[in-house]
A = this chain, B = another copy of it.
Amino acid sequence: MSQLNLRIDQIHEAIERQDDVTLDNLLAEVSSSETARLIEASTPENRSVIWACLDVQKRAGVLKSIHGKVRQFLIDITPEDALLESLFLLQPDELADIDEDLPGTVINAMIAAMDELRKRRYNSVKHYPDNTAGGLMDTDATAVRADVSVRSVLRYLRLLRKKEGEMPEQLDSLMVVDRTNKLLGVLPLSEVVSLPPDTLVADILGESFQAILVDASQERVARIFLDCDLLSAPVVDHNYRLLGRITIDDVVDVIQEQADDKMLRSAGLESNADMFSPVLTSAYKRGYWLGINLITAFVAAWVIGLFEAVIEQLIALAVLMPVVASMGGVAGSQTLTIVTRGLALNQIGRSNIAQLIAHEASVVFLNGIVWALAVAAIALYWFGDPMLGIVFGVALLIVLVTGVIGGIFIPLLLQRMSIDPAVAGSVVLTTFTDAIGFFSFLGLAKLLI
């Protein structure tokens, strides 16, 4: 599995040679989620060739796990009846996750072909926003009553299996409800298989359990699963009626997607960026970010412009000024990372901000003294000008300390403005430290030299 890149090479070479037999054999050895990664890593032409070689089953798996933009592409190139064949293999909650990419005619044909149970499950999920517990849940929770014995539970499950042919995927526990479908507790299957058959369900339910409200955000769902080490959890409405269940594999997907999304967006890329999206689309999206950064870069240039006369007197200032700005950015981004992480984990409140500032300020002050002396010595040696050395050292100390202050307050401010500090923090900080860096260095030089 760590060999996926070699597999990709072999597959692309087979496509090049138009060697369909080898291509089929190679694709047969790759799991559907790996096939999804493979298709993402191919050019649009190769994507079509690979897609044409996949069977209905594999296509269903790929549609489930491929990133948004590429899924849209695959759906667009597939005839409707072939598409429907694959869609029939997906669970109703999986369908609800991808249905925004499907043409209306396909959705209607899909619903028309569903049996009553699937239709009910699909309809009950699709109304909830994708990024809430309702959007994540599946409605295949298996529920039992509290006033029955373990023996009756086993009998009921065997009947259910006989009727439906299979059990829900990843079933690790049953939900216990009263006659109004109100959730009373969760019964792990490990209890069902190991307790004496005449134990009453009600007698095992003593322990606390975690239910998730249907409108909880997916971030909150992820936090509950992580904090409580859950494999699955019941989803309830505000009257505690059982609606469905969420299993941890969906939660893991959420966690992965969020991390991926943050990384991409902090570099000014779109969510789910496609490696081979059309050049014009990519260029437009990235150009937007370049434009924003151009503005921030001109802020720094404007600050430098204020001091043209000083630079004219001493060109060494132009040589050294990027050093000051860049060091401020580095020190600030270390603090920014600590604070952004603390905010993400909800660890920062009124009571520890002052302590955090004190800690970060002490750390940077110690470093500032050391590095200020170092750069002063370097400047003195390089340009033989003691005053330049002093100005360089003092400016470095100033920018390191203000960088750290920016690293604390910029994420706090962004969060208050409901902007994700993990995405925007770094750009704002760099603009800030560049401006401060150039201003303090050139300003000090104007005063002292």
Contact = CB atoms under 8 A, between A and B. Distances in A.
A290 B189 contact: no
A290 B330 contact: yes
Interface stretch (A50-58, A119-127, A361-369): A361-369
B349 A9 contact: yes
A196 to B, nearest CB: 6
Contacts of A333: 267
Nearest to A350: B9
A172 B348 CA distance: 37
Contact of A334 (B268, B279, B370): B268
A220 interface: yes
A42 B160 CA distance: 52
B286 A334 contact: yes
A325 B109 CA distance: 55
A449 interface: no
Contacts of A273: 338
Interface in A336-355: 336-338, 341-342, 345-352, 355
A237 B356 CA distance: 48
Interface stretch (A98-106, A131-139, A315-323): A315-323
Contacts of A290: 327, 330-331, 367, 371, 400
Nearest to A41: B347
Nearest to A64: B229
A157 interface: yes
Nearest to A296: B326
A305 B379 CA distance: 12
A341 B308 contact: no
A334 B337 CA distance: 19
Nearest to A264: B337
A259 interface: yes
A40, A154, A170, A229: most-surrounded residue (chain B CB, <10 A): A229
A1 B224 contact: yes
Contacts of A444: none
A43 B358 CA distance: 11
A279 B363 contact: yes
Contact of A287 (B348, B352, B367): B367
Contact of A275 (B256, B319, B356): B356
Contact of A341 (B12, B34, B260, B325): B260
B330 A293 contact: yes
A366 B279 contact: yes
A193 interface: yes
A335 B56 CA distance: 35
A226 interface: yes
Interface in A46-76: none
A86 interface: no
B345 A294 contact: no
Interface stretch (A77-85, A110-118, A247-255): A247-255
B301 A320 contact: yes
A226 B254 CA distance: 12
A300 B322 contact: yes
A297 B322 contact: yes
A168 B378 CA distance: 63
A77 to B, nearest CB: 19
Contacts of A326: 293, 296-297, 300, 430, 434
A191 interface: yes
Interface of A: 1-6, 8-9, 12-13, 31, 33-34, 37-38, 40-43, 153-154, 157-158, 160-161, 167-172, 188-196, 219-220, 223-231, 247-249, 252, 255-256, 259-260, 263-264, 267-269, 273, 275-276, 279-280, 282-283, 286-287, 289-291, 293-294, 296-298, 300-301, 304-305, 308, 311-312, 315-323, 325-327, 330-331, 333-334, 336-338, 341-342, 345-352, 355-356, 359, 362-364, 366-367, 370-371, 374-375, 378, 382, 400, 430, 434, 438
